[in-house]
């Protein structure tokens, strides 16, 4: 899951502030040393900023205030000394996080102004919200005991991005989809070290923002965030919330423990969870007062991982197995007679959707029933891409439509076109759906460069599709070709992007689909010799990520492994989902 990844550009979760040269071989794949700008340990360098000094000018007080927010280990004690007594009590830096690349020069007296550049804004859960080129910071100052002190300041933590690189990391908060059937990961940024558990739980019990309405839901009531601290005793995270324990029935308690277990298992100190509400312990149906970290597994959108989970086409027949041992599937599409070009298999492995060689129709059939029925839910298309499935066995398929994309979802054999903002009607080359059914990601072709666009899928409580959130462009660095060859899920909240880097190198980079800045550093290869055409990946721990070229295959996650050559006539290699 996401907790195995460390981000190059790391930022802070506001909800936790107060809780505490590559050598290139001449042939073969390029193996990059596994060096990142961050480690799993909290940085050992501390910074104790100076308090206000007598006689400082108003601009100097503001500059000192900004410097004091960089205290490490994390503390805002000195920063509050730059505020008036009243402002220090009222200042709530947990409401928002503002990061910047460079501060301008402070000027003024009663009102000090300075310009911050390359802004990113995060909410009170630590979730990225938006970017800005510049932001004017205005602070009001007054004389207090003969010294300038800040009397008016935004309720935000305001710190340089370089500071985040050392002290915070990417994690996920786990909520439920609107049907309460599966857990859905939402990326946030939390401090590393002893504050992690408190920060994760504080973010989890914070009220969800309006833009996530009909996307995710939570069983935690609002108003339990203030003063929350989560001690970890003997590996058990003790979560004590206010409220009425009698109002929490068995099923609600089970879901609360599931959210906590999957959220807190990202903290290596935590081995189990104990939840108390209003002084009463929330117990599992079997009577235990401790929930182990697998408590959320019944709500896993991946379900029980099928064996095998690799499928392909072999001379037009649907096959499954390992790279060096594919066998025909037992269903109708495992036999000759269908001319196919791409496939998508349900997460359980029970059914396959196959696109005809013409790209105009889709066939759906079971994979293990020789006499199974073959249905034809999509016909009359122009240029269909590979189909994908979510946990509800809904099939999503993109018709590229000669530059006017159409997105179709098939539910119980009935195909319905969905109007997806930022995707429908555009020139789209690839489309992905997350296994939890909450995200769509597409590659949209522009005149000069391709873009990765993501949107959230809104549902009602019965799982019906209500619509989509406004599209979000995933920021990509300007490197290599502006055209994207392929994308693939790396985790439930991140995708890998394949581009041509030079004439003889291909480049794979991984990014969060929420649009937050920076690359996610993953273990394995990121540069490959030759022109790689396709990524084969799955958002599941332990899944091997494969890169396919013309007659070649390489493992990105196991660079030392000798990967078997794909059999002649094998194509459309894919994982389930």
Between CA 38 and CA 353 the distance in angstroms is 42
Span 504-523, pLDDT tens digits: 899 999 999 999 988 998 88
**What's the pLDDT score for residue 551?**
76
**Angle ∠(477,480,482) on CA atoms, nearest 5:** 75
**What's the pLDDT score for residue 43?**
59
Residues found in the chain:
577
**Do 34 and 523 meet the contact criterion of CB atoms below 8 Å apart?**
yes
What lies within 8 Å, CB to CB, of 503 at 6+ separation is none
Cβ of 227: how many Cβ atoms within 10 Å?
Answer: 9
**What's the pLDDT score for residue 460?**
98
Phi, psi of 251 (to 5 degrees): -70, -40
**Do 352 and 311 meet the contact criterion of CB atoms below 8 Å apart?**
yes
State the span(s) of the chain assigned CATH 2.130.10.10: 310-575
DSSP 8-state assignment for residue 282: P
Span 51-94, pLDDT tens digits: 999 999 999 999 999 999 999 988 999 999 999 999 999 999 99
Using CB atoms within 10 A of its CB, is residue 70 exposed (0-12), middle (13-18) or buried (19+)?
middle
SS3 161: helix
Cis peptide preceding 308, ω within 30 of 0: yes
**What's the pLDDT score for residue 227?**
65
Between CA 528 and CA 542 the distance in angstroms is 21
What lies within 8 Å, CB to CB, of 411 at 6+ separation is 392, 394
Q: Is residue 443 within a helix (H) or strand (E), and if so which, with residue range?
A: strand 439-445
Assigned architecture for domain 310-575? 7 Propeller (2.130)
**Do 311 and 319 meet the contact criterion of CB atoms below 8 Å apart?**
yes
Between CA 84 and CA 153 the distance in angstroms is 11
**Do 349 and 367 meet the contact criterion of CB atoms below 8 Å apart?**
yes
The sign of the dihedral angle between the CA atoms of 383, 370, 329, 539 is positive
Q: What is the pLDDT along the chain (577 residues), one digit of tens a residue?
A: 333 333 332 233 333 333 332 222 333 333 333 333 333 455 557 899 999 999 999 999 999 999 999 999 889 999 999 999 999 999 999 999 999 998 999 999 999 999 999 999 999 999 999 999 999 999 999 999 999 999 999 999 999 998 987 888 999 999 999 999 999 999 999 888 788 999 999 999 999 999 999 999 999 976 566 668 899 999 999 999 988 888 888 899 999 999 999 999 999 999 999 999 888 888 876 666 677 899 999 999 998 888 888 999 999 999 999 998 999 999 999 999 999 999 999 999 999 999 999 999 999 999 999 999 999 999 999 999 999 999 999 999 999 999 999 999 999 999 999 999 999 999 999 999 999 999 999 999 999 999 999 999 999 999 999 999 999 999 999 988 999 999 999 999 999 999 999 988 999 999 999 999 889 988 888 999 888 999 999 999 889 999 999 878 999 999 999 898 888 999 999 999 9
Between CA 362 and CA 570 the distance in angstroms is 20
Between CA 510 and CA 490 the distance in angstroms is 8
**What's the pLDDT score for residue 19?**
35
Q: Is residue 89 within a helix (H) or strand (E), and if so which, with residue range?
A: helix 85-90
CA distances from 256 to 117, 119, 237 (A): 40, 35, 14
Q: Tell me what percent of the chain is helix, strand and coil, each rounded to the nearest 5.
A: 15, 40, 50
Tokens of residue 365, six digits: 């059939």
Matching residue, tokens 């006017």: 404
CA distances from 425 to 289, 403, 410, 421, 456 (A): 53, 7, 19, 9, 18
As beta bridge partners, residue 342 has: 355
The closest alpha carbon to 412, from 425, 395, 400, 426, belongs to: 395
Strands across the sheet with 395-399, in order? 388-389, 395-399, 406-411, 414-418
Between CA 332 and CA 452 the distance in angstroms is 36
**Angle ∠(87,93,96) on CA atoms, nearest 5:** 135
**Do 517 and 131 meet the contact criterion of CB atoms below 8 Å apart?**
yes
**What's the pLDDT score for residue 281?**
87
SS3 350: coil
**What's the pLDDT score for residue 289?**
65
CA atoms within 13 A on the CB side of 181: 18
**What's the pLDDT score for residue 39?**
36
């Amino acid at each position: 899951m996401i907790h195995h990844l460390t981000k190059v550009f790391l930022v802070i979760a506001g909800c936790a502030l107060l809780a505490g040269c590559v050598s290139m071989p001449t042939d073969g794949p390029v193996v990059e040393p596994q060096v990142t700008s961050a480690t799993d340990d909290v940085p050992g360098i501390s910074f104790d900023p100076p308090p206000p000094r007598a006689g400082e000018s108003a601009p100097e007080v503001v500059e000192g205030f900004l410097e004091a927010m960089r205290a490490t280990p994390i503390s805002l004690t000195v920063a509050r000394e730059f505020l008036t007594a009243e402002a220090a009590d009222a200042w709530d830096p947990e409401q928002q996080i503002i990061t910047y690349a460079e501060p301008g020069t402070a000027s003024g007296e009663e009102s000090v102004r300075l310009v911050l550049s390359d802004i990113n804004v995060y909410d009170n859960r630590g979730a990225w919200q938006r970017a800005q080129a510049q932001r004017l910071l205005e602070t009001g100052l007054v004389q207090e005991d003969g010294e300038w002190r800040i009397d008016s300041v935004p309720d935000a933590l305001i710190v340089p991005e370089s500071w985040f690189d050392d002290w915070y990391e990417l994690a996920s908060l786990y909520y439920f989809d609107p049907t309460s059937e599966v857990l859905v990961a939402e990326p946030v940024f939390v401090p590393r070290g002893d504050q992690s558990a408190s920060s994760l739980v504080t973010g989890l019990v914070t009220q969800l923002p309006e833009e996530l309405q009909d996307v995710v839901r939570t069983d935690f009531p609002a108003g339990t965030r203030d003063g929350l601290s989560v001690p970890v005793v003997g590996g058990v995270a003790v979560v004590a919330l206010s409220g009425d324990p009698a109002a929490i029935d068995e099923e609600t308690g089970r879901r609360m423990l599931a959210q906590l277990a999957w959220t807190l298992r990202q903290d290596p100190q935590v081995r189990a969870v104990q939840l108390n509400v209003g002084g009463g312990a929330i117990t599992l149906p079997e009577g235990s007062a401790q929930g182990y970290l697998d408590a959320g597994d019944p709500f896993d959108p991946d379900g029980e991982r099928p064996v095998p989970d690799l499928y392909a086409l072999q001379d037009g027949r649907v096959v499954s197995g390992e790279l060096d041992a594919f066998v025909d599937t037992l269903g109708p599409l495992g036999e000759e007679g269908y001319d196919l070009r791409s496939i998508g298999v349900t997460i359980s492995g029970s059914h396959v959707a196959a696109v005809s060689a013409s790209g105009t129709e889709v066939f759906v059939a079971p994979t293990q029933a020789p006499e199974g029925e073959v249905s034809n839910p999509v016909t009359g298309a122009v240029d269909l891409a590979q189909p994908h499935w979510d946990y509800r066995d809904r099939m999503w398929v993109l018709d590229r439509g000669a530059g006017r994309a159409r997105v179709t979802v098939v539910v119980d054999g009935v195909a319905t076109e969905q109007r997806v903002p930022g995707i429908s009607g555009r020139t789209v080359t690839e489309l992905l759906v997350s296994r939890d059914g909450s995200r769509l990601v597409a590659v949209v072709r522009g005149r000069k460069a391709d873009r990765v666009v993501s949107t959230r899928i809104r549902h009602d409580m019965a799982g019906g599709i209500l619509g989509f959130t406004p599209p979000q462009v995933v920021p990509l660095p300007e490197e290599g070709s502006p055209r994207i060859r392929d994308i693939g899920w790396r985790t439930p909240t991140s995708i890998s992007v394949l581009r041509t880097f030079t004439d003889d190198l291909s480049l794979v980079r991984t990014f969060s689909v929420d649009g937050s800045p920076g690359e996610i550093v993953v273990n394995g290869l990121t540069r490959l010799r030759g022109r790689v055409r396709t990524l084969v990946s799955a958002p599941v721990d332990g899944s091997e990520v494969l890169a396919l070229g013309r007659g070649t295959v390489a493992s990105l996650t196991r660079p030392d492994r000798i990967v078997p050559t794909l059999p002649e006539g094998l194509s459309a290699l894919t994982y389930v989902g």
